[in-house]
Homo-oligomer: A and B are copies of this chain.
Amino acid sequence: MAERLKPEDRAAGLKALTDWHLCEGREAISKSFRFRDFRQAFGFMTEVALVAEKMNHHPEWFNVYRSVDITLATHDVGGLSALDLELAAEIDRVANRS
């Protein structure tokens, strides 16, 4: 069962990630990605979908053409858990290979 992160763990976790930021008015983190075209953007999304399904932890995301905006939070804890930091790091690994 996921647990809500303590503020100091949240801050430390966020510091270890690149370009993820806390959302305004909501305990969640988000990042925007931009790719060459739709094909590359959706290829990225497909790879993230497989990772997310395996973790059983899913993103909220918005895609238009070559842009993908991702928000992560853990519904069960009403905020951020270690799962979000883990998924964010996995997403960055996928993006860095795209």
A64 and B60 contact, CB distance less than 8 A: yes
How many copies altogether?
2
A65 at the interface (CB under 8 A from B): yes
Mark out the residues of chain A between 31 and 74 whose CB falls within 8 Å of any chain B CB in the assembled complex.
38-39, 42, 45-46, 49, 52-53, 58-65
User: Among the listed B38, B45, B52, B63, which residue makes an inter-chain contact with A38, where contact means beta carbons less than 8 Å apart?
Assistant: B52
Q: Separation in Å of the A40 CB from the closest CB of chain B?
A: 11
Docked pose: A58 CA to B49 CA in angstroms = 19
B64 and A38 contact, CB distance less than 8 A: no
Residues in B with CB closer than 8 Å to A46 are: 42, 46
Chain A residues proximal to chain B, CB less than 8 Å: 38-39, 42, 45-46, 49, 52-53, 58-65
